[in-house]
Amino acid sequence: MASRPDHRRRWTALLSIGCFAAVLALGACGSGDDAATTTTASRQIEGIVRPEPLQVGDLSLPQVAADGSETPFAFKADDGKLLFVAFGYTNCPDVCPTTLYDIKKARKQMGADGDRVQVAFGTVDPERDTPKIMNEYLGSFAPDGHPLRTDDADQLKSVQEAFGVTSSVVKNPDGSTDVAHTARSFVVDDQGNVVVEWSFGTGADVMASDLQLLLDQQDEDS
């Protein structure tokens, strides 16, 4: 894979550049052509952008097929693409299906560029989330998605710590299971940098807007 320029400074500057450009626009009385020009510098990321992006490209989890076979999956988008990442479980009553539906809708809104957004979903409840269940579940939201699952609790914890998230699974005496996990999703670029984070409830419109801006920025820098 050909290397691409390091976009970290560009990503972290998007918010401040966008705000500065908006202030200039309010006070400007330039020509009509100037006023009509729209660039990535005048648009803003609405999600969370860290001053120093998380580096997750060296981390991986097993991607599982329905038959149980595994392939290492690195947290780095393919060249020229972006990778959406979320952690949860298939029995989740609200956060997980809502988030995955939103990214499904966002990709559809983006048209052809939606195919440049990869989707990975890692389970925090591997005992109940078998390979077959994981593939069926994620497939209903992203048929081309990457279902991630490991029985190695230390491996899962290491990856979650790198993303700054946590989870817990508690089995109750009555046989029920309580699962808690951080309700946040991530976008990783082809350098393994987390370029934006979204809190639960962000919505498909914001996701699509942020993703399109990030892809456009990649295209400008290529």
Q: Is residue 21 part of a domain?
A: no
Q: Is residue 18 part of a domain?
A: no
pLDDT score of 221: 87
Written as tens digits, the pLDDT of the chain (222 aa) is: 444 444 444 444 443 434 333 332 333 333 333 333 345 566 899 999 999 999 999 999 999 999 999 999 999 999 999 999 999 999 999 999 999 999 999 999 999 999 999 999 999 999 999 999 999 999 999 999 999 999 999 999 999 999 999 999 999 999 999 999 999 999 999 999 999 999 999 999 999 999 999 999 999 987
Q: Is residue 89 part of a domain?
A: yes
Q: Is residue 40 part of a domain?
A: no
Place of tokens 């670029």: 189
Q: Is residue 74 part of a domain?
A: yes
Q: Is residue 53 part of a domain?
A: no
Q: Is residue 84 part of a domain?
A: yes
| pTM greater than 0.75 (yes/no) | yes
Residue 160 contacts residue 166 (beta carbons within 8 Å): yes
Q: What domain range is 169 assigned to? A: 60-207
- Work out how many domains the chain is built from and give that number: 1
Report the CATH number that the domain containing residue 174 is assigned in CATH.
3.40.30.10
Q: Is residue 156 part of a domain?
A: yes
